[in-house]
Amino acid sequence: MESSVKQETQPKPRLIVRLGVFLASHHILFSVICCSAGIIVLLLLPSLAKNTYLSENALIPGSATPLFSTEDAIEANRFMKGIEAADGDSIGGIDMAKFIAQQIEELGAEVCYHKFLPHSKHFHPLKFFTTMSNDMAIEPNGTDTNFGINTVGIIRAPRGDGKEAVVLVTPYNSQRVHSNELLSLALGFSVFSLLSRAAWLSKDIVWLSADSQFGEYAAVSAWLNQYHNPVFPSHSVIFDTKIHGADHIYDGNAEKAEFEAFKRAGTMAAALIFKVGETRRYGDRDSVTMYAEASNGQMPNLDLLNVVHYLAVHRQGFRVNIAAFSSLLSSAWLRVIAEFFHTLGTVLRKINPDWKLDIAVHDYVDGTANLASSIYNQAIGVPTGSHGAFRDYQVDAVSLEFTPTFNVRNENAKSLFLLRGGRLVEGVVRSVNNLLEKFHQSFFLYFLTAPSKFISVGVYMIPFALLLAPLPIVAAALADGSETMKKLAEKSIGDSKTNGSTDFLQSKGGSWKWLQAAKVLLVIQLWAVLVSLLPYYITQIPDATPIQSSVIWAMLSIVILIALYVMSGSPYSAGVEWKLLKATMITSISIGLGLMSIINFATAQLGALIMIPMCLFSRPLKARSGMNFLPRAVLLASNITLAVVGFPPAALLIMKGLSKGSWTVDIGEFWVWMEFLWEWSSATYLYLFLVHLPCWLLCIHVLLHPCSQLELKMKQE
Amino acid sequence: MAIRYYWLMVAAAVGFRLVLVLFGGDLHLASRPEVSTPLTSLRRLAEGYWLKQASMSPYSDLVANMLLFIADFLAAMLIRGTGHRLQMSRNRSLKSLDLTKAVNNSGLAPLAAFGYVMATHLSLYPAILIVPVILLLGYGPDAPPTKVFLVKSSSDSKSGMSEYERTSLKVQRFSWMTVLHFIFWLFIWSCYVLLLSSMILKKVGGLNEMFEKTYGFILTVKDLSPNIGVLWYFFAEVFDFFRTFFLIVFNMNILFMVLPLAIRLKHRPCFLAFVYTAIVAMLKSYPSAGDSALYLGLLGLFANELAEMQFTFFLFFGYIGVSLLSPVMHNLWIWRGTGNANFYFATGLAYTCLQTVLVVESVGSMIKHDRKLRLLVTS
């Protein structure tokens, strides 16, 4: 009777269902193929990089003859001497700000000071998500003596409507001034003075000389915060904001009190941060290093980088670099891979001349070093410079660090350098000035493998998608497999019973069996949320060393886990099948990785490389299988290795060991790292604790599963 | 079957809700598109109240429903009560495949009518729930189809049926009195609400404007700010001269499903109500997460009947995935500027697809369940 019921209620499934069933029945082969293809494509990425191109026609970089002349360079030298003198008799760097303001005023531009306090360390991991820019600007009040002063100069565009602005930033440390910082200030000033005379400006120019005594980022982000979140102080607040020691800037000169008022220009179209770094002896040409990674892997529009690169290389003769992992450049195994791909590429080229995969070995190694650094910087989710602060307000920004090859005392070389640097900055401003709309043409999602080569989102998604593809299939196969097994068992029980109908009515639903596994997942996720919030309370403990903090953290996490198990029952007590547990784990990890790939792709990509093998390999250590000794031992060993590698502190230790070669175990280091992540409100912190850690714990649960259920069923059969 | 730690879980849920109320400010829940729609936004309520105080028409901006903490708690308790009653009636009907007794609902008719009128007044869509309410009052709560009882009684009559069962068969018939009672109260309450509304609005606009700005606002999808549904995107994209046509199509879409479902599921009015709420949550103009909370809460009532439902694993994780993905996409579009409206709309589409699968699968498995019952009885 029961079989007749089943026959009637199960019509022929649809094509898509049948396709799914087919894939699920071959899930092992499918996942092996997909994962290996994913890793191969990931290694192929440097050869798949394309040359950059300008997609916004309005930019037309280098179309006008640069106006920046030797006279401007002389002006810069004069400014430099002046500020050196001001620095000599300065108290706390205030005279420098005063000197800059005075010079700006002499140019006829508007000027104002911006005072700010250093950022206090806060635990707000969700900040990137909930409040992007809604913080109220913190104004220094009367009790603070330790504050920074940014000097802001604004040129109103003669041809513009004042609705848009281009921002130039030169950071300098007002407490300890280096000669190269003075050089970058001089460069900034000379460009600003040139632009104050330019008749072609259609966007306002803002020059921010950022006081980087608390770090560049703090200065720039404090200024941006106040720029975008106007405060409307009541009278009492105005009285409070008088600052100790700041009063003597004005020297009783009443009309300069207007410097106090915060001045604004229009919406920012783009920002360029430039500074002159330490002199390096090697290299024949002066070089420029571009930094573009903002928080959580956000990048500025590629067109901005293209403009800078084009002008620097083709007009001013700089060498342009991007950050790279230099250790990879000399790595032997990378060279072997490069040779292999080169041979493979030449063979493929012979088959079809359109397949241009035969990248030179040297290019491949360089590209990999750059790409690795690009992925790493995006994955960490911490901006590589003060341009990150701009991206939080959706302003495209890039940092340029000039590395001169001459001695700072060499006046001729310095003038030449100022001339070329000034022309570069002027050219970029000119290009952005030409824009009629926001940057939108080119890419926002890309990796750089060279200053002029990029991998767009359409290409770099492929390895990730290939890695992720087996997960749903395996989950379906596991869920389905356990179901059929259950049906078999049920049938055998049902046959023995005389009253089949009551059995059908009382059975607690085969298709809802995963609810127990989902409950385990829920408890573990709850635990993960609690663990990720713990640092908020731990940071309140005064004077705790990193080691103490991390030990407290670990202890509390274990206590919470045990408490949750006591409250909700042990995960194995309800008799969850390990296959269902694994299916739940795989589904949750595919959701987690999918989400993370949207928030910060690089993190998800790196995470997938560790997590997906860990999830796919995992099976209970006690599980019986029909395998021989050798494959079983290999499976066991890979399970344990992956479980160890998947544990975040262990992964961190291995990463440190590989990069630095030191294998000392320092418990406090993990705390320091995590502190670094949440201070920058990096989403990587959330990923580690809400996706990675629970998945790892579930994996451990699968590994330690007692498997009594399964054995019971096998006996019954 | 008693659930362990029932009151503990209730306390945890209440606590969580309170935490959200107290600390929700940091999460900006009041402005999240998932929770707050033009009809449920507290901010718009505040604005409307302010406009009323300033003796302007409150319907200059839209004011409607407000979800309150206590209301939610009461609703949860009511769903639980309904669950108990359904459980009881199911056990009774299954014990010997006997007949159900119509639960004495007559005392509740005025209350039901009041709830119905208020709900319709507030958001219009519950209007179609009149069908399950009448069926519920007429036939009593969910039971296996009448045919099963007929078959059963015919097979029983061969072997001789007791007098008691013969009489109780009559109870199965549609009880017109209760329904008339309900309709009477429905009439009274609607008149009362309309009267009150017109008195309040006399100075500032009158009933006409109220109809125009509430029901008209709901039906013509005037507010195109993004929400978790799909209509905002569609009507933002559609050419203006097609707008009226598609408005008719989308609104009729809901109405078209009322009659067939009512005929097919007339023996299960509670399940019918669940299906209606799910369909409304899917197709209404300004859906919010609260709508799905309602039908997902009701889903628990049919745990026994839907035990054999397919794709539950997929649905569960689909709901989780979409509910996490949707705010991320919104953030990408609105705050970070690296995404666009299509990203957010895609999650809306996925959400609608999931709901469709849920409705189709649940109705399918309910019908299958009834067929199985019939087969069991006949064999």
| Inter-chain residue contact B313 with A501, CB threshold 8 Å | no
| Inter-chain residue contact A583 with B313, CB threshold 8 Å | yes
CB pairs under 8 A between A and B: 76
Give the other-Cβ count within 10 Å of A24's Cβ: 19
Higher pLDDT, A74 or B96: A74
Per DSSP bridges, beta strands A204-211 and A164-172 are parallel
Q: Residue B379: list chain A partners with CB under 8 A.
A: 1
Residue A631's pLDDT is 81
Q: Which residue of B lies nearest to A300 if distances are taken between CA atoms? A: B338
Question: Averaged over A622-626, what is the pLDDT?
Answer: 70
Quote the DSSP letter at residue B128: G
Q: How far is CA A589 from CA A572, A641, A645, A698, in A?
A: 21, 19, 17, 10
Quote the DSSP letter at residue B366: H
| Inter-chain residue contact A508 with B308, CB threshold 8 Å | no
Say whether residue A526 is in contact with chain B using an 8 A CB cutoff: no
**What is the distance of C-alpha A674 from the center of its chain?**
15
How far is the C-alpha of A166 from the C-alpha of A59, rounded, in Å?
14
Q: Is the pLDDT of residue A128 over 70?
A: no
How far is the C-alpha of A425 from the C-alpha of A444, rounded, in Å?
22
Decide if B301 contacts B86 (C-beta within 8 A). yes
Angle at A264 between CA A260 and CA A267, to 5 degrees: 160
Supply A417's token pair. Answer: 């350098």
Say whether residue A505 is in contact with chain B using an 8 A CB cutoff: yes
Q: Residue B325: list chain A partners with CB under 8 A.
A: 594-595, 598
pLDDT digits (tens, 9 = 90+) for A462-492: 999 999 999 988 988 887 766 554 454 444 4
Among the partner-chain residues A8, A511, A514, the one whose CB lies closest to the CB of B308 is A511
**What is the distance of C-alpha A424 from the center of its chain?**
28
Specify burial of residue A326 (Cβ count, 10 A radius: 0-12, 13-18, 19+): exposed
Say whether residue B376 is in contact with chain A using an 8 A CB cutoff: yes
Helix (H, G, I), strand (E, B) or coil at A287: strand
Say whether residue A91 is in contact with chain B using an 8 A CB cutoff: no
Decide if B344 contacts B330 (C-beta within 8 A). yes
Per DSSP, what are the bridge partners of residue A270?
A: A166, A396
pLDDT digits (tens, 9 = 90+) for A484-504: 544 544 444 444 333 433 334
Residue B223's pLDDT is 77
Decide if B268 contacts B19 (C-beta within 8 A). no
Q: Residue A505: list chain B partners with CB under 8 A.
A: 94, 304
Domain membership of residue B272 (yes or no) is yes
How far is the C-alpha of A218 from the C-alpha of A386, rounded, in Å?
8
Residue B256's pLDDT is 86
Q: Is the pLDDT of residue A208 over 90?
A: yes
Residue A588's pLDDT is 92
pTM of the predicted model, to two decimals?
Answer: 0.82
Q: Is the pLDDT of residue A703 over 80?
A: yes
| Inter-chain residue contact B338 with A504, CB threshold 8 Å | no
Domain membership of residue B1 (yes or no) is no
Q: How far is CA A436 from CA A57, A146, A203, A206, B354, in A?
A: 11, 42, 10, 18, 43
Give the model's confidence band at B65: pLDDT under 50 very low, under 70 low, under 90 confident, else very high.
very low
Helix (H, G, I), strand (E, B) or coil at A389: helix
Say whether residue A15 is in contact with chain B using an 8 A CB cutoff: no
Say whether residue B19 is in contact with chain A using an 8 A CB cutoff: no
Domain membership of residue B194 (yes or no) is yes
Say whether residue B325 is in contact with chain A using an 8 A CB cutoff: yes
Decide if A249 contacts A98 (C-beta within 8 A). yes
Q: What's the CATH class of domain A57-119+129-323+384-438+449-454? A: alpha beta
Domain membership of residue B27 (yes or no) is no
Give the model's confidence band at A355: pLDDT under 50 very low, under 70 low, under 90 confident, else very high.
confident
Supply A264's token pair. Answer: 């604004």
Tell me the Cα Rg of chain A: 31
Quote the DSSP letter at residue A89: T
With CA atoms as reference, report the closest residue to A204 among A252, A162, A254, A145. Answer: A162
How far is the C-alpha of A497 from the C-alpha of A520, rounded, in Å?
32
How far is the C-alpha of A443 from the C-alpha of A481, rounded, in Å?
44
Supply B163's token pair. Answer: 């007098």
How far is the C-alpha of A699 from the C-alpha of A645, rounded, in Å?
12
Give the model's confidence band at A22: pLDDT under 50 very low, under 70 low, under 90 confident, else very high.
confident
Q: How many helices (H) and strands (E) does chain B have?
A: 15, 0
Among the partner-chain residues B307, B309, B338, the one whose CB lies closest to the CB of A445 is B338
How far is the C-alpha of A271 from the C-alpha of A308, rounded, in Å?
12
Helix (H, G, I), strand (E, B) or coil at B142: coil
Angle at B254 between CA B249 and CA B255, to 5 degrees: 90
Domain membership of residue B22 (yes or no) is no
User: Which H or E run includes B227?
Assistant: none
Give the other-Cβ count within 10 Å of A450's Cβ: 21
Angle, nearest 10°, between helix axes A578-599 and A470-496?
Answer: 160
Domain membership of residue B14 (yes or no) is no
Domain membership of residue B153 (yes or no) is yes
Helix (H, G, I), strand (E, B) or coil at B347: helix
Supply A326's token pair. Answer: 């230099």
| % pLDDT > 90, chain A | 28
- Of A495-499, B34-38, B83-87, where does the model show the most confidence? B34-38
Q: Which residue of A lies nearest to B328 if distances are taken between CA atoms? A: A599
How far is the C-alpha of A401 from the C-alpha of A288, rounded, in Å?
5
Q: Per the structure, how many domains does chain B have?
A: 1
Range of the domain at B63: 32-378
Q: Virtual CA dihedral for A538, A540, A544, A545, nearest 10 degrees?
A: 60
With CA atoms as reference, report the closest residue to A501 among B149, B92, B376. Answer: B376
Say whether residue B240 is in contact with chain A using an 8 A CB cutoff: no
ipTM: 0.79
Say whether residue A533 is in contact with chain B using an 8 A CB cutoff: no
| Inter-chain residue contact A130 with B306, CB threshold 8 Å | no
Mean pLDDT score across all residues of chain A = 81
How far is the C-alpha of B156 from the C-alpha of B153, rounded, in Å?
5
Among the partner-chain residues B309, B328, B379, the one whose CB lies closest to the CB of A1 is B379
Say whether residue B306 is in contact with chain A using an 8 A CB cutoff: yes
Per DSSP, what are the bridge partners of residue A115?
A: A149
| Inter-chain residue contact A510 with B338, CB threshold 8 Å | no
Domain membership of residue B26 (yes or no) is no
Decide if B20 contacts B29 (C-beta within 8 A). yes
| Inter-chain residue contact A5 with B332, CB threshold 8 Å | no
How far is the C-alpha of B195 from the C-alpha of B217, rounded, in Å?
21
Q: Is the pLDDT of residue B68 over 90?
A: no
Give the other-Cβ count within 10 Å of A188's Cβ: 28
pLDDT digits (tens, 9 = 90+) for A390-401: 988 889 999 999
Residue A510's pLDDT is 59
Say whether residue A131 is in contact with chain B using an 8 A CB cutoff: yes
How far is the C-alpha of B178 from the C-alpha of B186, rounded, in Å?
12
Q: Which residue of B lies nearest to A299 if distances are taken between CA atoms? A: B338
Say whether residue A444 is in contact with chain B using an 8 A CB cutoff: yes
Spell out the domain ranges in chain A: 2-46+463-716, 57-119+129-323+384-438+449-454, 325-383
Say whether residue A499 is in contact with chain B using an 8 A CB cutoff: no
Per DSSP, what are the bridge partners of residue A287?
A: A319, A403
Residue B370's pLDDT is 85
How far is the C-alpha of B252 from the C-alpha of A336, rounded, in Å?
66
Decide if A162 contacts A204 (C-beta within 8 A). yes
Cβ neighbours of residue A4 under 8 Å, at least 6 residues apart? Answer: B375
Q: How far is A217 from chain B (nearest CA, A)?
A: 19
Question: Averaged over A585-614, what is the pLDDT?
Answer: 91
Question: Mutating which of A5, A511, A520, A581 best tests the B interface, going by the most B Cβ atoms within 10 A?
Answer: A511
Supply A538's token pair. Answer: 């731990």
Say whether residue B146 is in contact with chain A using an 8 A CB cutoff: no
Among the partner-chain residues A444, A509, A583, the one whose CB lies closest to the CB of B308 is A509
Q: Virtual CA dihedral for A477, A482, A486, A488, nearest 10 degrees?
A: 60
How far is the C-alpha of B217 from the C-alpha of B219, rounded, in Å?
6
Supply A568's token pair. Answer: 């909700």
Give the model's confidence band at B97: pLDDT under 50 very low, under 70 low, under 90 confident, else very high.
very low
